[in-house]
Amino acid sequence: MAGLFHPTSLGDLDLTNRIVMAPMTRSRADERRVINPSASEYYAARADAGLIISEGINVGPMSNAFDRTSGLWSDAQTEGWRAIVDRVHDKGGRIVAQLWHGGRASARGLLYDKQPLSPSGVNDDLDRLQVWALLANGAYVRVSATTSRAMTLGEIRVAVEEFKLAAANAVRAGFDGVEIHGANGYLIHQFLSPTINQRTDEYGRSVEGRSRLLLEIVAEICDVMPRSRIGLRLSPFADYNSTRDPNPAFTYGRLAHWLQTAGLAYLHLADTNAWTGAPDYERMLPIFREHYRGPLIVNAGITPERAADIVNSGEADAVAFGRLFLANPDLPARIRAGGPYNSPKPFGIYGGSDAGYLDYPSLESVAQEVAEEG
């Protein structure tokens, strides 16, 4: 496991180890989408990660695939995140904000009774979109997606500016950088897909047109922070939210050419289908490595042992862990010790009380309990 504990740099982000905390959706904000104060304890407990990537943070009011997810467009939201970032920094950690727009994966009830926005108003698969809401009784349930409509050019411009404002607020909150969420069937991923993006203007027609939204977002964020502090998450083969790209190798091979010269801090490849036992890691990696030799984080339900092999072989610079980090706040210490590992609890993952959120035992506390029982 030694390779996982070697320091590295992703652009201007200096990591003390190569164990990254993956972004994980959390529905722990209030009605103003201000992050819950309990989150400061949650993130601070995981500050030993080489890098923490925050939960998805909405860039504007029209982004909300999951009820009670936090935002980063208002002063109150920014101050809420500042308290969390300060706690992480006080413990010597590094954290970037994942900037998120849900696009068509939403419902009117989550968008102030407005219709969800999408590249082209494709609505033949609403039953496959993942939209979740909090009921009055505290239960968190999946709800029906609402038909979306095609964005106007003006609305596309607004979305680009929302990403820029959220990045500027991330700087104000003290984040070490941002990660643009271009994966999992959300707005940027929707624009990249020739199935979901059927536009005939400059934001469609070709790979270059479908990539234009992403490139404009990157360019605007560069006005408020260096490229070397901007990461990008992609999931070329993801079935999640039904993006349905018939030729991901073509789409993302062209993107990889651009990434090689873009100067971003890192590329974060997510094998989202590994969640359901159908991993695509082995066919995803070559698409990018053929053209892109920059800093790379991979995330695919990877075990610590496999992560060590990936880093030692040079396949990637770091490995992101999701569920394992959720259940094991002290994951780096547990990896170094060879386990044991807590398993995620079946409740509290997305929202609710602090149960299933702040109550996972540390390795030290488990060892102490065993010693006392012995």
Q: Known catalytic residues? A: 186
* 221: DSSP letter: H
| The two three-digit tokens of residue 3, written as one number | 């390779």
Closest CA to 71 of 97, 47, 90: 97
Place of tokens 């905390």: 21
Report how far residue 366's alpha carbon sits from residue 143's, in angstroms, rounded to the nearest whole number.
39
Environment class of 147 (CB within 10 Å of its CB; exposed 0-12, middle 13-18, buried 19+): middle
* 53: DSSP letter: E
- Residues 38, 84 contacting (CB under 8 angstroms): no
Report how far residue 142's alpha carbon sits from residue 125's, in angstroms, rounded to the nearest whole number.
15
Strands (E), 31-167: 51-58, 95-100, 117-118, 132-134, 140-142, 149-150
Residues 6+ apart with CB under 8 A from 298: 268, 269, 271, 281, 285, 310, 315, 316, 318, 319, 320
Report how far residue 340's alpha carbon sits from residue 268's, in angstroms, rounded to the nearest whole number.
27
Torsion on CA atoms 232, 4, 42, 353, rounded to nearest 10: 90
Angle, in degrees to the nearest 10, between helices 207-221 and 248-262? 30
Neighbours of 372 (CB within 10 A): 7
Report how far residue 9's alpha carbon sits from residue 7's, in angstroms, rounded to the nearest whole number.
7
- Residues 325, 43 contacting (CB under 8 angstroms): no
| Residue ranges in 174-247 assigned as alpha helix (H) | 187-192, 207-221
Strands 117-118 and 149-150 turn out to be parallel
Report how far residue 53's alpha carbon sits from residue 100's, in angstroms, rounded to the nearest whole number.
12
